[in-house]
Chain A
Amino acid sequence: MAFTILDGGSFVSDGTAKKIPLPSSADYFKTWNITQMPLAPVTPVVINGEWFGSKFGSGQTAANDGLRTKKSANTSVINIDTFATTTASDGFTYVTTSPVVEAQAANAITAITAASPAVVSQTNTYANGDILRIYNTTGMLQIAGMPFQISTVSGSAYTLIGLRAAGFAFAATAGNTRRISKFNAVDPEVVYVTEVTKATSAVVRFSVDPTAYYVVGMKMRFSIPASYGMVELNGLTGVITALSAANYTATIDIDSSAFTTFAFPASASSPTAALFATAAPAGAYTSYNPVTLVQTGYDFNKQPFHTGQFTPYMLLPGGAQSPAGAASDVINWMCYKLEV
């Protein structure tokens, strides 16, 4: 069967997962870790990864798997096995549809602190900026089902900047997570509200970094169920006047000074409480200052409704024993399609 090379390229790994958008459906995908190829590594590394699509029938690659060519520690001896075999590491995941759950298995957490910001204890291979859906959160059911962006990730814990849980009655003692796509099928997308200040210009905190989807000048319409207290904000549309990637917040031109305090419902009442508080994109209020020549409220990459997550793509997990390599590794990749 003849092959066509669909696309190819190279990137410098930052140690995290990499998405490679593909111009067409793929049948074969290969990566080379150019940096590690000539070295005798201190710890084992994967220097080649190979993925086979559905046209290979019983020989096709399962999700999060593929062939890996490894060098053992302190030697250039080559071993070949699959990502799923002993000393398993994350392999290739080919994603064709969105919204996307990237074949990540459910992962158990052991605790979420009732602190601001909340800290999750969990053995994990996540990376800074990943978005997780958290559910089954015993003791903290009011957040069960919400997506959260994570930061300060270690192999045993990470921080939820978007969750100020100091006011919660209890910490969570168990739960599960599943990594989801950073972008929905269409953007700008709905974001989950976790905190709203009472101020002349309300500051709204979200469970994820809003700067990935919104810019100053865009409008948001708020949906705040009565179980969150601040019902006065429900149904109002505000213009974003400032955004913070560090705090996951947006400042809006709504005076919330006299509003009821915003608070999550208690965990015990959450199975029947109205959830969740959200904000949806409601267009933009573009302004132009003829003196400073500054136009506010427009970004062609964010404001117009557009496809959020291009599909198909190949997800390459990061790490020394995964296709996207460790930080600073140069990774070459090529994608092929069978002619028939």
Chain B
Amino acid sequence: MALGITNINNMAPELPLQFSEDLLSTPMFNLIHSFGCDLHYAESHIGKTTRMSRYERLSTDGGQLDGSGIDPAPEVVVRSDIDATMEIYAKTVVINEQVTLYENDKVLTKFTALLGQWLREKEDLLMRDLYSSSVSYLNATGGVNGDQPSEISRNDVNNIERILLGNDARTMLQSVDAMNKFNTSPTRDAFIALASTDITPDLQNVTGVILKAAYPSQEGLRPEEYCSISRFRFFVSSKAAKIPGASMLGATVYTIPMYGLEAAAKIDQNSYSAILGYRPPYVVSSVAQNSQLYAKFAIARAITNQNWISGLNVTARL
């Protein structure tokens, strides 16, 4: 072999690394807690509490006229008022000019996208907290892990369907009709169920589960959807609600809100629903070296009808 070869040992590249043209993905958890709720709007300049009212139905008892000419007793109409307080959340990032000067990437653009992602994620967690705090859940008892609550079972899911149907709740998702495809099963019109990714092994193990891939059609399905059990379609997130140390034996309890139409509401504040802003260096810093990006939004949330939402407390088995 000839000597005196010029190679990268004696002539290293001028630049030791290069920046790949494509950024890697920023992790984002599944956003499942907002899409099933009603969206309302609050006008500006008229207070921070929004009232949503519902007239309760009239009694169907009696009502037959007996021919005596005596009018039936009038019924006083009952109205239920559901109120929610507007709250404002914000996040900010301050950037030194040397970052924008030296970085290869367009950091201000990327940071703006991060703040946009924060808006969606924070909103999702706030809705999760509403479901976690203010809804009555039943403990699952049909499982075999020996804890109270047990892992999820078909009987537990059917019981929640019975509760919702008994309260005249309306399903939220349309049926997926049967098709002539192997290993697929139709799903009925369904209520929504929101669960933690921690219990997906248990979901797969429930009698009669139809995994998403076994739906006759995948058209229009959300990526967060996991399966269908009985009258519920399950959506999962790594950030779904769980309460550490809350079971009979001290294990983590996962709460699964299960609901139909108009069970919960998210209220946007007009003129303040989502604001992304930039403050230039001459405003943020006395020597104009730091700029600032910020995001803020206003939200109010409420359970609007407790009869149309229920759910399960479960523990994990698998």
Contacts and interface: CB of A to CB of B under 8 A. Distances in A.
A178 B247 CA distance: 12
Contact of A305 (B130, B241, B245): B130
- Output the residue of A178, A188, A276 with the most chain B CB within 10 A: A276
B148 interface: yes
B246 interface: yes
A276 B82 CA distance: 25
B166 A283 contact: no
B81 A185 contact: no
Contact of B49 (A185, A187, A304): A304
A159 interface: no
A222 to B, nearest CB: 8
Nearest to B265: A305
Contacts of A225: 138
B84 A281 contact: no
Nearest to B130: A186
B247 A145 contact: yes
B97 to A, nearest CB: 15
B37 interface: no
Interface string A174-202: 00101000001111111000000000000
Interface string B153-186: 0000000000100110000000000000000000
A333 interface: no
A225 B312 CA distance: 13
Interface stretch (A28-36, A86-94, A241-249, A267-275): A267-275
B249 A98 contact: no
Interface in A258-286: 270-276, 278-286
Interface size class of A (residues with CB under 8 A): 35 or more
Given A135-B250, A186-B130, A274-B138, A219 B85 contact: no
Q: 5 tightest A-B contacts by CB?
A: A185-B129, A184-B133, A223-B136, A304-B83, A144-B248
Given A99-B132, A274-B141, A281-B134, 5 more contacts: A99-B129, A184-B132, A190-B134, A300-B49, A304-B49
Interface of A: 98-99, 101, 106, 133, 135-136, 141, 144-145, 176, 178, 184-190, 219, 221, 223, 225, 235, 237, 270-276, 278-286, 300, 303-308
22 contacts: A99-B241, A106-B245, A135-B246, A135-B247, A135-B249, A135-B250, A136-B248, A145-B149, A145-B246, A186-B301, A187-B133, A221-B136, A221-B306, A221-B307, A279-B136, A280-B134, A281-B306, A284-B80, A300-B49, A305-B300, A306-B84, A306-B87
